Amino acid sequence: MSSFFQRVYRVVRRIPPGKVATYGQIAALLGYPRAARTVGWAMHALPEDSDVPWQRVINAQGRISTSWQEHDVSHQQRLLEAEGIVFGADGRVDLAAFGWEGLTWPEIDELQRGEAESSLD
DNA sequence: ACAATGACATAAG
DNA sequence: GCTTATGCCATTG
C-alpha cells in the first residue's frame, strides 16, 4: 500500500466518534491542502475489513458525497447517526457543531513519529 | 514518462 | 440553491 494512503487512514482513525471531517481537511493535515480528491480515492480503495471510520469523512458542504453504490448514502448516514451525528432536513451535517477540530500539534507529531516506526497498520 | 481517473474544493453562471 | 467549469494530486494502466 502506498504511503499516502496509509497516512490518510492514520489520520481518519484519529477522528473521534460523533465528529466528522472533510476530505480537504484531512489532506491539509497531511500537508497537501489541495489533495482532497486523492483522499477520496483513498477512501474508495479502503478494504471493508479495515478499522478506518471512513463514514466520518464527508465533503466540505457537510454532505455525503459517496457514490459507492453498493452501499448507498443512507448506509453511511445511518452509521453516523448511530454515533450521535444529526443530519439536517436536506441531508446535511452542521459542521460547526459536529465538525472535527483536527489534530493538535503534539498529535500530529505523534502521528509522524508513529508513521516512521511502524509501517504496518 | 504520458494520459486518464476520481467518495473533492471552489468560483462562476 | 443547483449546475458547470477549472484546478489539484496521487494512483494506475
Q: Is A68 within 7 A of strand C by CB distance? A: no
Q: Is A37 within 7 A of strand C by CB distance? A: yes
Radius of gyration of chain A (CA): 14
Q: CATH number of the domain at A3-120, please?
A: 1.10.10.10
Q: What is the nearest nucleotide to A8, using C1' and CA?
A: C10
Largest CA distance in chain A: 45
Task: Please report the pLDDT score of residue A71 as a whole number.
Answer: 61
Task: Please report the pLDDT score of residue A117 as a whole number.
Answer: 59
Please state the pTM of the whole predicted model: 0.91
Q: Convert the pLDDT of each residue in A70-98 to its tens digit.
A: 567 788 999 999 999 999 998 999 999 99
Hey, where are the domains in chain A? 3-120
| Cα distance between residue A38 and residue A61, in whole Å | 18
**A77 alpha carbon, distance to own chain's centre:** 14
